[in-house]
Amino acid sequence: MSNDVRARDGRRAWRDFRLLWSGQSVSLIGDQVFLLALPLTALQELHAGTMRIALVAALGKLPFLLIGLPAGVWVARLGMRRSMLGADLVRALAVLSLPAAAWAGALTLPHLMLAALVTGVGMVFFQVAYQSYTPTLITDDGRLHAANTRLSLSESTALLAGPGIAGAVVTALGAVRALLTDASSYAVSVATLALIRHREPPREPAGEARPLLRDVGDGLRFVARHPVLRPIMVCGALYNLGVAMYDSLIAVFAVRHLGLHAWALGAALALGGAGFPLGSLIARRVSDRAGIGPSLALAGVPSVLGLALGAAASGPWPAAVLAAGTFVNGVGQGVFAVNAITIRHLATPPELATRATAVHRFLTWGALPVGSVIAGAVGSAFGLRTAMVTAAATSALCLIPLRSRPLLRTRRLRRSAVPQTA
C-alpha cells in the first residue's frame, strides 16, 4: 500500500472518529440532564416518595446485571455501529414518551419506571458497542491512545460541567421539558453515527451463528485467562464497589456529618472534579515513562488516596479537604481510565472485542448497586463516618490485583498480541 493511500485512509478513519467523538460529547451532556430531570419528574409530576424515586434510578442500572453478558454476543452479531444507532433511537423514543404522556395528563409511575428500564437496556447495548468500536476506526496503535484520551476528556468534561448545565436546563425549562434536551442529544448522536463511512466486516455467515452460551463463555474465558486483562477487571470491580459506597453517602455525609451547605458541597465537588480531565491529559505521558501496565498501578494510588482524604474530612475546612480528595481521586481515575481502555483495545482480538467489553462492564458496573446496598447497611448500623472509611478501605483492595507481575511487566502492547514484557 502506498504512502498516499495510507494517508488517505488515515484521514478517513480520523474523520469517522471525530463524528463518533462529537456525537457522544453532546449525548453525554444530555445524559446528565436525564439523570437530574427523571427523578424530578417523578417528584414534581407524580409526587413519588424517596423509595420509589430510588427504584426509578436503580432500574436504569439493572440491565447491566440482567443482560450485560449476552449483550456482547448480540452486539457482535448485529454490528457495533448498528447497535449504537438502534440503542440511541430506542432511548430517544423512551425519553420522548415521558413529556408526551405528561402533556396528555397520562403519565404514571409504571410508565416512568418502564422508560428508565428501557433506557438502561439501550445504555447496555450502546456502551458495549461504543467501548469496542474505536479500534475498528483507528488502526494505528499510536493514534488509538490519542483517540481514547479524547473520549475520556469528553466523559470527564460531562461529569464536571454536566450537572451545572443540567441544573440550568431544568431550572429554565422545568423537569418535563428538560427531557426533550436529552432526546435531542440522542438525535445528534444518531446523525453523527449515520455519517460514519466505515463499515464492519460480517462476523458470522448467515445461518451459522453459534449457541449464545458458548459465545458468552468464550468471552468469560478469554478475560479470565488473560494475564493482563484479568487483574484490570478484578481491580475495576473492587474499586467500583468502594466508589459506589462512597458516592451513595457523600452528600448525606457532607451535609449531616460535616455540616456543609449544599452549595458548599457542590462547589467542592466541582472544583475537585477538574482532576479527571487533568489525569486524562497526562495519561499518555505517564504510560510512556512508566510503561502502560505500571501506569495503572501508579494511578491506583491517588485514586484510592483521594477517597481516603474525603472520608477523613474534618476540622475547620472540611470543604477544602473534600475538594482536595476529589481532585486527587480524579487525577488517578483519569490516568487509569485512558490507559486501561487502551490496553483492552490492544490486547483483545477483534472477534472477541464486544464480548470482552461486556464481561468487563458486567462485573465493574454490576458492582455499583451492590456497593450502594452495603453502604446503606454499614451507615445505618455504624454511622456515616465508619461507612465512608469502609468505602475507602474497600476501594483500596483494588491495589492488590494491580500488583500482578504480568501487568507490571507490560511496558508496551501491540494490537491483538501477547504482552511484551520488559
Q: Tens of pLDDT along 248-257?
A: 777 778 877 8
Collect the ranges in the chain with pLDDT lower than 70: 1-10, 50-51, 53-54, 57-58, 141, 159-164, 167, 201-210, 262, 266, 415-422
Concatenating the DSSP letter of every residue in 344-362 gives HHHHS-GGGHHHHHHHHHH
pLDDT attached to residue 417: 47
Q: Which three cell numbers stand for residue 316?
A: 475547620
Q: Which amino acid is at 33?
A: V
CA quadruple 194, 200, 203, 205: dihedral sign: positive
Q: CB within 8 A of 421, min separation 6: which ones? A: 406, 409, 410, 411
The number of residues making up the chain comes to 422
| CB 236 within 8 Å of CB 363 | yes
pLDDT attached to residue 151: 81
Q: Quick one: which of 414, 413, 371, 412 has its CA closest to 394?
A: 371
What's the CA gap between 104 and 99, in Å, rounded?
Answer: 8
Residue 203 DSSP SS3? coil
Domains and CATH numbers, the chain: 1-197 (1.20.1250.20), 212-422 (1.20.1250.20)
pLDDT attached to residue 5: 43
What's the CA gap between 230 and 190, in Å, rounded?
Answer: 34
pTM of the model: 0.75
